[in-house]
């Protein structure tokens, strides 16, 4: 990974704060609609993913999504309708986004790896939430629509996160926080 620089930490912190502020209203909306209208609550599921994708894409360094997730948790916990439970959600979502990069030992930064992470996340999260919320009580089409909307929200968030990160990178943001060719040579 090279050195953990102040620029890296501050970039993750800035993205984490923005993500935390984004997920506060998303959590409130999701919590309000989850028990009665699961497909509607799934619309905002991607809100958790955007910041983690931006961090990983912009910085391209190990741990960027996880550090951003931890920081966003610190921002969101006091104001979240779910309280400390948001910690599990943030870290889990960040870990799934980071997982494909870990599997490649952070040597590949292809766009499709973000989609793999979001797909794995959506699959796991849909099974977890359908079971935990006892959604089997709903009609089958409601559960199916929930899963479809959840996948669409996660994959759409990846696309949005990639666009945001690429535009920030083009503007020169976080240039000092990114991995450098020397870091790659040391890892090889």
- What span, in angstroms and rounded, lies between the C-alpha atoms of 154 and 181? 31
> Alpha-carbon dihedral of residues 10, 64, 121, 77, nearest 10 degrees?
-30
List of the chain residues with pLDDT < 70: 1-2, 179-188
Would you list the domain boundaries of the chain? Answer: 6-176
Q: How far is CA 171 from the centre of its chain?
A: 22
Question: Would the pTM of this model clear 0.85, i.e. be above it?
Answer: yes
Q: Are 119 and 151 in contact (CB under 8 A)?
A: yes
Q: Are 60 and 184 in contact (CB under 8 A)?
A: no
Say if residue 67 is exposed, middle or buried (CB neighbours under 10 Å; 0-12, 13-18, 19+): buried
Q: Are 55 and 98 in contact (CB under 8 A)?
A: no
User: pLDDT (tens digit, 9 = 90+) per residue, 96-118?
Assistant: 999 999 999 999 999 999 999 99
User: pLDDT (tens digit, 9 = 90+) per residue, 118-143?
Assistant: 999 999 999 998 888 778 888 989 99
């Amino acid at each position: 990974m090279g050195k953990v620089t102040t620029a890296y930490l501050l970039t993750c912190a800035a993205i984490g704060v923005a993500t935390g502020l984004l997920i506060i209203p998303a959590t409130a909306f999701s919590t309000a609609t989850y028990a009665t209208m699961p497909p509607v609550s799934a619309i905002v599921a991607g809100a958790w993913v955007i910041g983690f994708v931006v961090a990983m894409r912009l910085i391209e360094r190990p741990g960027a999504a996880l550090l951003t997730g931890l920081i966003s948790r610190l921002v969101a916990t006091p104001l979240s309708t779910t309280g400390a439970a948001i910690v599990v959600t943030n870290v889990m979502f960040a870990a799934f986004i980071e997982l494909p990069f870990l599997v490649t030992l952070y040597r590949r930064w292809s766009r499709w790896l973000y989609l793999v992470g979001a797909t794995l996340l959506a699959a796991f999260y849909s099974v977890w939430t359908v079971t935990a919320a006892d959604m089997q009580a709903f009609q089958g089409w409601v559960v199916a629509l929930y899963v479809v909307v959840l996948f669409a929200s996660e994959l759409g968030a990846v696309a949005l996160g990639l666009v945001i990160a690429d535009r920030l990178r083009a503007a020169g943001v976080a240039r000092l926080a990114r991995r450098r060719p020397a870091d790659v040579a040391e890892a090889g």
